[in-house]
Amino acid sequence: MAAPHPSVSRDPLEPQPLIEGVHTDKTINDSLLAHVWRGAGKGWFALFSVALAMLGLLVIAISWTLYKGIGAWGNNIPVGWAFGIINFVWWIGIGHAGTLISAILLLFQQKWRTSINRFAEAMTLFAVICALLFPLLHTGRPWFAIYWLMPYPSTNGIWPQFKSPLTWDVFAVSTYFTISLLFWFLGLVPDLAALRDSSKSKTKRMVYGLLAMGWRGSGRHWAEYKWAYVLLAGLSTPLVLSVHTIVSFDFATSVIPGWHTTIFPPYFVAGAVFSGFAMVMTWMVPARHFLGLKHVVTMKHLENMNKIMLVTGMMVSYGYIMEHFIAWYSGDPYEYAQFFKTRWGGPMSGIFYLMVFCNVVTPQIFWFKKARTSIPVMWIASIFINVGMWCERFNIVITSLHQDFIPSKFENYSPTWVDITLFIGTIGLFSTLFLLFLKFIPAVAVTEVKELRHELAHDPTADPVGETH
């Protein structure tokens, strides 16, 4: 979909513009806030009720789990971890795209990030919330886990064990959530002010006013604000890399063939970004359509995201290849059996091949510009990738565990209805939060777009179109 009218962007290498059409601050402001002021449409309510229904399932599944115990799930010995941990890793991974877009692309001064970072950051938050459910829920006695994992001076005089990757997880994930939240909110403050000032009803002004905390766009504030924002981005960048690295340590530090692998950290991070972008794509495509954001979330944005998916997809594929190479090259019989017998021919090999198709084959279509710029193709591909990344975690967690060292304790695994309901339920939770976000908060960082517009306008290669109106 080429731009029908003159646009802001004069990079000969970048035919598609970052902002389509002619705008003033006012028009940008109104167009981007429009979907907040517009009353919730039928479509929104339809989606929202579906999401709520799934959320209900989550509540049921959780309460049943708490009532029965983990036995309500399909786990056993040797498969001590299953859906719970798969979902945890999957959701955490999805979270990564948000931070990556908003932080890393900010540091690299990628202008195209501005239109999608708010959206992606929100997704990070909600994904991490979904992820956070599982580590607690999957423990045998959550009522203790919830505070015994904290280093507090108990009357027992005993402390957490800091050599355990799970303890690292507790810190990593909670830090990740906190920082993402702060980062997100800090970026939101000026927009909240804009909402406050452009809202019609008194109550809305009140609510947004309170949230805006009396922001008045003061130059003195902006001066510190820019630093705070950039530094948060600077901290989030290593953070986002560390989080999935540490998650990968849960497996890499163990002795289990299929887990005990040095390549895990980079390969987990790549996978995380991979699935993260896929998820952003899955939601962005419909969102930009229904919220009328096409002029700021342009084909260029989508195409860039597809390129990143292609790159990270290749990294992940490399990870798979290396795993197998090392298993063969190391000469470790258990490793060898794990990869070349169990994964390829074991009772769960189906999942392995599905993973290969989704994560290795699918992204290859993005070599072709046609595919990169075709909305339906990229949307379907993104869904495939989401599925594929879930299968990858299934392979790592369950397939590795169910046949490890001693043949007499090889067991099969089959999930129960609770396992499946829990997974669906978290998707419900995610959707619910996301729909609420789209309803009450501008999906695009208004302030940053305004700034971007001015930057582009001042760009020597740009003509001052839309400047004098």
Partner 1 sequence: MSDGHEESTFVARRFIVAEFASPQALLDGTTKMRHGGYKSLDTHTPFPIHGIEEALGLKRAKIPAIVLGGAIIGACIAYSMIYFMNVIDWPLNIGNRPPHGPPANIPITFELAVLLGGGSAFMGFFALAKLPQPYHPVFESEQFSRASIDAFFLSVELPAGADGDRAISDVKAAGAIATELVTESER
Partner 2 sequence: MGPLFRPRHNTLALISLFVVAAGAAGVPAGLMVYARTPYARGMQDPIEQPVQFDHRHHTRDEGIDCRYCHNTVDKSPAAGIPATQLCLNCHSQVWNKSPILEPVRQSFIQNKPMEWRRVYKVPEFVYFNHSIHVNKGVGCVSCHGRVDQMAAVEKATPLTMSWCLECHRRPEANLRPVEEVVNMDWKPDGDPVAVGRELAAKNDVHTRTSCTTCHR
Partner 3 sequence: MSCDDNKDARTKDRDRRRSLPVVDKSVAPAKGAAPADGGNGLWRSQRPWRSIDERDRQGAMPGAANEFPAGTMDVDDNVSRRGFMQLLSVSTAVATVGAACQKPNEKIVPFVRRPEEVTPGNPLHFATAYALEGYGSGLLVESHEGRPTKIEGNPAHPQTIGATTAIEQALILGLYDDDRAKQLRQGVTPIAWRSLLGQINANNAKLAENRGAGLRFLTAPTTSPLLLDLRRRILERFPQAKFVSYSSVADDGAVDGARMAFGKPMVPRHRLGSADVILSLDSDFLAEGPEQTRLSREFAARREPSPRMSRLYVVEPAVTVTGAMADHRLRMQGTEVGSFVAGLCSVLASRGLEKLAPLASLSHGERKWDMKWLVALAGDLERHRGSSLVIAGCRQPPAVHALAAALNAALGNVGVTVEYGAPLTPDPLSGPAPLAALAQDIAAGAVDTLVITAANPVYTAPADFKFAKLLERVPNSIYFGLNEDETAAACKVMVPAAHALETWGDVRATDGTVSIIQPLIAPLWGGIQEAELYAAFIGEGDVGANKLLRRYWQGQFKGGEFDAHWERWLADGIVPDTGVAAEGGVAVDGAALAQTVAPLLTRTKSGMEIAFVVDPKLYDGRFANNAWLQELPHPITKLTWDNAAMLSETTAKALGIETGDIVEVTYRDRHVDAPAMIVPGHVDDTVTLPLGYGRTGVGVGGVAKDVGFNAGALRTSDNPWYDRGATVAKTGRRFKFAITQDHWTMSPDGRVIPPPAVEGPIEEVLKRDSKFHEEIEVRRGPLPTIHEPVDYSKQAYKWAMSIDLNKCTGCSACVVACVSENNINVVGKENVWRGREMQWIRVDRYFSGNDDSLSMITQPLMCVHCETAPCEYVCPVNATVHSDEGLNEMVYNRCIGTRYCSNNCPYKVRRFNYLNYIADYTAVRELGMNPDVTVRTRGIMEKCTYCVQRIERKRISTRIEGRTIADGELETACQQSCPTRAIVFGSLNDASSKVSQQHADPRRYDLLHEIGTRPRTAYLARVRNPNPELHVPDAHGAGQEHGKGEHE
Q: Determine which residue in the list 4, 39, 156, 203 makes contact with partner 2, applying CB under 8 A.
A: 156
Contacting residues for 140 by C-beta, under 8 A, at least 6 apart: 69, 70
Inter-CA distances, 185 with 33, 118, 293, 409, 431, Å: 17, 10, 21, 50, 20
Q: Which two structure tokens, joined as six digits, stand for 184?
A: 């997100």
Residues in the chain: 469
Q: Which amino acid is at 117?
A: N
Q: Does 140 bind partner 2 (CB under 8 A)?
A: no
Centre a 10 Å sphere on the Cβ of residue 200 and count the other Cβ atoms it contains. Answer: 7
Max CA separation in the chain (angstroms): 79
Q: 300 with 372: CB under 8 angstroms?
A: no
**CA dihedral in degrees (350, 392, 363, 234; nearest 10)?**
180
Q: Which two structure tokens, joined as six digits, stand for 347?
A: 């009772």
Q: Does 65 bind partner 3 (CB under 8 A)?
A: no
- Judged by beta carbon, residue 59 or residue 146, the one nearer partner 2 is 146
Q: Determine which residue in the list 44, 148, 290, 318 makes contact with partner 3, applying CB under 8 A.
A: 148
Rounded Cα distance, 38 and 286, in Å: 17
In the complex, what is the shortest distance from the CB of residue 160 to partner 2, in angstroms, rounded to a whole number?
15
Q: Which amino acid is at 140?
A: G
- Judged by beta carbon, residue 53 or residue 146, the one nearer partner 2 is 146
Q: Determine which residue in the list 404, 418, 422, 428 makes contact with partner 3, applying CB under 8 A.
A: 404
Interface ranges with partner 1 (CB under 8 A): 24-26, 29, 151, 157-163, 167-168, 171-172, 175, 178-179, 182-183, 185-186, 190, 193-194, 196-198, 209-210, 213-228, 231-232, 235-236, 238-239, 242, 246, 249, 447-448, 450-451, 454
Any bridge partners for residue 19, and if so which? 8
- Judged by beta carbon, residue 141 or residue 369, the one nearer partner 3 is 141
Residue 343 contact among partner 1, partner 3, partner 2, none, beta carbon within 5 to 8 Å by kind = none
- Judged by beta carbon, residue 151 or residue 464, the one nearer partner 3 is 151
Q: Determine which residue in the list 37, 45, 143, 329 makes contact with partner 3, applying CB under 8 A.
A: 143
Q: Which two structure tokens, joined as six digits, stand for 20?
A: 């389509």
Build a one-symbol-per-residue string for 257-296: x at contacts with partner 3 by CB under 8 A, - elsewhere. Answer: ----------------------------------------
Interface positions, 190-249, toward partner 2 (CB under 8 A):
196, 205-206, 209, 213-214
At residue 8, the 3 state secondary structure works out as: strand
Q: Which amino acid is at 371?
A: A
Q: 190 with 441: CB under 8 angstroms?
A: no
Per-residue DSSP letter, 289: H
**CA dihedral in degrees (58, 61, 64, 66; nearest 10)?**
-70
Residue 346 contact among partner 1, partner 3, partner 2, none, beta carbon within 5 to 8 Å by kind = partner 3
Q: 436 with 65: CB under 8 angstroms?
A: no
Q: Does 139 bind partner 3 (CB under 8 A)?
A: yes
Residue 411 contact among partner 3, partner 1, partner 2, none, beta carbon within 5 to 8 Å by kind = partner 3
Q: Determine which residue in the list 185, 318, 405, 437 makes contact with partner 3, applying CB under 8 A.
A: 405
**CA-atom Rg of the chain in angstroms:** 24
Q: Using H for helix, E for strand and C for coil, what is the string for 416-447? A: CHHHHHHHHHHHHHHHHHHHHHHHHCCCCCHH
- Judged by beta carbon, residue 95 or residue 209, the one nearer partner 2 is 209
Q: Which two structure tokens, joined as six digits, stand for 253?
A: 């530090």
**How many residues of this chain interact with partner 2, rule: CB under 8 A?**
13
> Where would I find the beta strands (DSSP E) of 76-163?
none
Residue 172 contact among partner 2, partner 1, partner 3, none, beta carbon within 5 to 8 Å by kind = partner 1
Q: Does 163 bind partner 3 (CB under 8 A)?
A: yes
- Judged by beta carbon, residue 115 or residue 342, the one nearer partner 1 is 115
Q: Does 409 bind partner 3 (CB under 8 A)?
A: yes
- Judged by beta carbon, residue 82 or residue 193, the one nearer partner 2 is 193
Q: Which amino acid is at 358?
A: C
**Environment class of residue 144 by beta-carbon count within 10 Å: exposed (0-12), middle (13-18) or buried (19+)?**
exposed
Q: Which two structure tokens, joined as six digits, stand for 141?
A: 């006695």
- Judged by beta carbon, residue 81 or residue 352, the one nearer partner 3 is 81
Residue 396 contact among partner 2, partner 1, partner 3, none, beta carbon within 5 to 8 Å by kind = none
- Judged by beta carbon, residue 26 or residue 289, the one nearer partner 1 is 26
Rounded Cα distance, 320 and 17, in Å: 37
Q: Does 153 bind partner 2 (CB under 8 A)?
A: yes
Q: Which residues would be at the binding site for partner 3 (CB under 8 A)?
A: 68-71, 74-81, 138-145, 147-149, 154-156, 158-161, 163-167, 170, 250, 253-256, 333-334, 336-337, 341-342, 345-346, 401, 404-414
Q: Which residues would be at the binding site for partner 2 (CB under 8 A)?
A: 152-158, 196, 205-206, 209, 213-214
